[in-house]
Homo-oligomer: A and B are copies of this chain.
Amino acid sequence: MAKLFWRYGAMAAGKTLALLGVAHNYERLGRAVLIYTAQLDDRYGEGVVGTRLGLQRPARTFTPQTRFEAADIPEGTACVLFDEAQFLTTPQVRELHRIAVLHGVPVICYGLRTDFQGNGFEGAAALGLLADQIEELKTVCGCGRKASFNVRMDAEGRRVREGEQVSIGGDAQYHAACPYSFYTEQCKP
């Protein structure tokens, strides 16, 4: 019985780097992996997962309309990897759990938990409820504490509190923040 894994972390916690490392490990053993990312994340081009350290590779994309069935997974796939898994829907997470549990292919999902207002992403909520194993990928706030929230900044570096949940971008627009900083606008002394 394979598992559904949920590995969450704030912005820039190394989620894609970890995903690429896992893919590399399977492939060194001659085993194929299947990588998905959200279609709406096109920072490195649509259908590309990439990291700030310069590594990247192509991936299948998913939208809220994608259906995941065992038949979609090529014969011989050893592992299915998701980047930006917070954009999955609740029914998609359930489909992926069934693929892992009933068809024996581990599914490893990397993603954010909450948006710039501290509200949960649908996929993150569903993964937190169903995943067989939950792990945090850690990163740091400017104060040195663990960062678990994401803050959105405008072009002048001012915090943005209102707006659309999704506004895809890189370091310029978001940074990871500890809870104290997220709630108070200042890191704890």
Contacts and interface: CB of A to CB of B under 8 A. Distances in A.
A180 interface: yes
A18 to B, nearest CB: 7
Contact of A142 (B13, B29, B52): B29
A98 B179 CA distance: 8
Given A1-B188, A125-B128, A101 B28 contact: no
B25 A139 contact: yes
Interface string A43-64: 0000000001111000000000
A166 to B, nearest CB: 16
A53 B140 contact: no
Interface residues of A, number: 56
A149 B97 CA distance: 12
A20 interface: yes
Contacts of A25: 12-14, 139-140
Given A52-B24, A136-B134, A144 B78 contact: yes
A75 to B, nearest CB: 15
Contacts of A17: 17-18, 21
Interface stretch (A65-73, A113-121, A151-159): A113-121
Contact of A12 (B28, B135, B142, B145): B28
16 contacts: A1-B179, A14-B24, A14-B25, A17-B21, A28-B171, A29-B142, A31-B144, A78-B144, A101-B179, A118-B130, A120-B130, A125-B129, A128-B128, A132-B146, A132-B148, A132-B179
Interface of A: 1, 12-14, 17-18, 20-22, 24-26, 28-29, 31, 52-55, 78-79, 94, 97-98, 101-102, 106, 113-114, 118, 120, 124-130, 132, 134-136, 139-140, 142, 144-146, 148, 171, 178-180, 183-184, 188
